[in-house]
Structure 1
Amino acid sequence: MKIAMWSGPRNLSTAMLYAFGNRADFAAWDEPFYAAYLAATEIDHPMRTEIIGAHETDPVAIAREISGPNPGGKAHWYMKHMPFHMVDGFPLDWAEECVNVHLIRHPARVVASYVAKRERPTLRDIGFQQQVELYERFPGPVLDSDDIRRDPERMLRRLCDRIGLSFDPVMLAWPAGPKPFDGAWAPHWYGAVHRSTGFAGAEGSLPRLEGEAADLADAALPFYGRMATEKMG
């Protein structure tokens, strides 16, 4: 099985990568198209030069690798993907071979977390619209990060059952620190998850945003609402 997990940034996506990557029967790949996205768009992201230097930038080569055998002879392969990485012209046929899963989080929480790491994000940077478009082409289970944090075992069991995979309790806890499958961007983005040994607990009330941050969350809200109507309860 190949799982393509689609989500925007700051969305529990790395914790989910660690959960599946902790299984002995899974290989894990962290944002395969990130470097290709940066090279194709010339967008300014933290650690841009290091990322491009460390990872494949040819989207056709990346798609070919995804369509090939699972690394290390593993039975399954979990891939963390960002919808906005899929620039026009990048191949997407490989996703037809995958079990596509969609991870969402309320935009107020996403924006509050994102602006702490990178200034003045745009709607494209947080990927809500692109995720709706990808969902319409590659539908699959939708999970809300809030639900996972409230009861990780229940939600992971439900997801595994939905996609025909046995649940493994090792998905609920992992060792602290960097992982061998982390992308080169981990030093900038993964501080909190590197300190973690499992899923964080339930979140409190929504953060209060002002100015451009509030406007951005408001712009993303209809796309989140569309996906939320499909989420697993």
Structure 2
Amino acid sequence: MTAVFLWAHPRSLSTAFLRMMLERGDFLVVHEPLSSIVVQGYAIVDGEKVGTPAELLDLIEQLSAVQQVFVKETTEYLYDVVADPRLPRLATHSFIIRHPARAIASHYAMNPLLTCHEIGYRHQLEIFDLLRRGAAGPLPVIEAERLLDDPHRTVRAYCRAVGIPFLPQALTWQPSERREWSRTAPWHRDAARSTGFRAPDRHYAQTVDNNPVLADFYRYHLPFYERLRAHSLGGRHAEPL
């Protein structure tokens, strides 16, 4: 069987991607278990409670022996577990990125107390570099902008890269709240209202262009984003959305 991880900085459209994986129906889908352990001291995975990252890996290994497992994790934290030698072989690892100008504005709108490291690109790159050392092949990186522009082609390329069938019918779904993201539901209202991969029609009052703190965050994280973007499936997307 298969385990697939998607590592995502916050506000990267990763929950919409997770929603698509739920629609497939052929994976046990796990939402942000490592960040749950950091924030609340435990995560619930397939009805089982785990309290440490090592316990989580044990459970993912057990579950993926009998079914396909998809894990979406965010990178506002740098998790010690990424140095565990089991992790590269335990799953196929992939990444999703979004241009930091849009992601930072969206993140700040949700959390005005946002700190620089919580934006997550540096942690995401560090995880990418650690996992790449033990990976058998390239680690696929998808761009949110490309996903919005051409979902069919982008998801098909992703499925080919991680070795799973492409199911085009999963590109659309009915809007709904999901128990998988109930702990962080306020962060996922757009995903709950969505019916597919479409950019929310939203403008932010505070952006990297008019807020000097956000501008500093942007300058700090842009090099990490660019290094990840160099590995983008299908080449780099031209314009941030």
Q: Secondary structure at the match of 1:138?
A: helix
Q: Does 1:194 align with 2:229?
A: no
Instruction: Quote the residue 1:60 is aligned against.
Output: 54
Of 127-136 and 85-94, deviating more is 85-94
Instruction: Quote the residue 2:225 is aligned against.
Output: 224
1:78 to 52, 70, 83: 70
Name stretches of at least 5 consecutive residues in structure 2 with no aligned partner.
42-48, 133-138, 235-241
Q: Look up the equivalent residue of 1:85 and give its one-letter code.
A: Y
Q: Secondary structure at the match of 1:85?
A: coil
**Does structure 2 retain, via aligned residues, the 8 Å contact 1:39–1:57?**
no
**Deviation of 1:94 (Å):** 4.2
1:116 to 109, 113, 116: 109
CA RMSD of superposed structures (Å): 2.6
Instruction: Quote the residue 1:27 is aligned against.
Output: 28
Structure 1 segments, 4+ long, off by >4 Å, are 201-207
**Deviation of 1:56 (Å):** 4.2
Q: Does 1:106 align with 2:99?
A: yes
**Deviation of 1:89 (Å):** 6.3
Q: Secondary structure at the match of 2:33?
A: coil
Q: Does 1:174 align with 2:168?
A: no
Q: Secondary structure at the match of 2:123?
A: helix
**Deviation of 1:57 (Å):** 3.6
Q: Secondary structure at the match of 1:182?
A: helix
**What is the number of residues matched between the two proteins?**
217
Instruction: Quote the residue 1:13 is aligned against.
Output: 14
Structure with higher RCO (Cα < 8 A, 6+ apart): 1
Q: Secondary structure at the match of 1:231?
A: coil
Q: Does 1:69 align with 2:25?
A: no
**Deviation of 1:182 (Å):** 2.0
Instruction: Quote the residue 1:3 is aligned against.
Output: 4
- When residues 174 and 8 of structure 1 are mapped into structure 2, their CA distance, relative to the original with a 3 A threshold, is same
Instruction: Quote the residue 2:127 is aligned against.
Output: 134
Instruction: Quote the residue 2:46 is aligned against.
Output: none
- When residues 39 and 190 of structure 1 are mapped into structure 2, their CA distance, relative to the original with a 3 A threshold, is closer
Q: Secondary structure at the match of 1:199?
A: coil
**Deviation of 1:58 (Å):** 2.4
C-alpha distance in 1, partners of 2:153/2:82? 36
Give the TM-score, by structure 1 length: 0.84
Q: Look up the equivalent residue of 2:122 and give its one-letter code.
A: Q
Instruction: Quote the residue 2:161 is aligned against.
Output: 162
**Deviation string for 1:19-65 (max 9, x for gaps)?**
1111121110000112221257xxxxxxxxxxxxxx74422222221
**Deviation of 1:131 (Å):** 1.0
Identity among equivalent pairs (%): 27
Q: Look up the equivalent residue of 2:62 and give its one-letter code.
A: G
**Deviation of 1:127 (Å):** 1.0
C-alpha distance in 2, partners of 1:94/1:19? 27
Q: Secondary structure at the match of 1:177?
A: coil
**Deviation string for 1:95-131 (max 9, x for gaps)?**
2211100111111111100011111322210111111
Give the TM-score, by structure 2 length: 0.81
